[in-house]
Structure 1
């Protein structure tokens, strides 16, 4: 999953890094900041919008993981590597009877609500650290 998204995330990070104004870096150098201080006190705070987007996309995509889980381990051994999306699929399609359809649907609704809530919480947490130039 990480390797699938790394190229896209790097493009977002490079765009965020290029949007850091050179004036801020130059002003920090004139004030005597070291390279580490410039990185931690100037560049990373200015890149927080990019970091917010990348963390949000990675978090939500990792929660929705299904096909890699199915192809690589199929949830084995003994369902120990089964992610929630694969569990919902198996509950809905892998068992017979209408009660299992309802349980699968209930799991998927609760899962969707949980992903939305976690996503909003993460956005709120990282957006609070963003600064304006």
Structure 2
């Protein structure tokens, strides 16, 4: 009986030692990707060009979150001025001309006509 109790104590003690070590190997799921990390060489250049959020309050000027900075409509962001802000786009004007930043770069809306809609409108393929 004492032998079994000793084995159980050794087993439980070893589990208590091993489990915290295994938990330390897990990465933080809320951490941003390495490319956006401040340690990355091009992180500052990359972050400066990203429209992260748009806030359009009922009262007051709209605000864009660009590269981690809150920029109100009409304010300057570096050498560029925020001249237009919509729910999905920020337009900056600067020495290099006009630059458009999108919340979802690379995604464009296109209208798709289904065969049923074509039949209703009388258009034939």
Q: TM-score range by the shorter chain?
A: under 0.3
Higher strand share: 2
Q: Which structure has the bigger radius of gyration?
A: 2
TM-score, with structure 2 as normaliser: 0.26
TM-score, with structure 1 as normaliser: 0.25
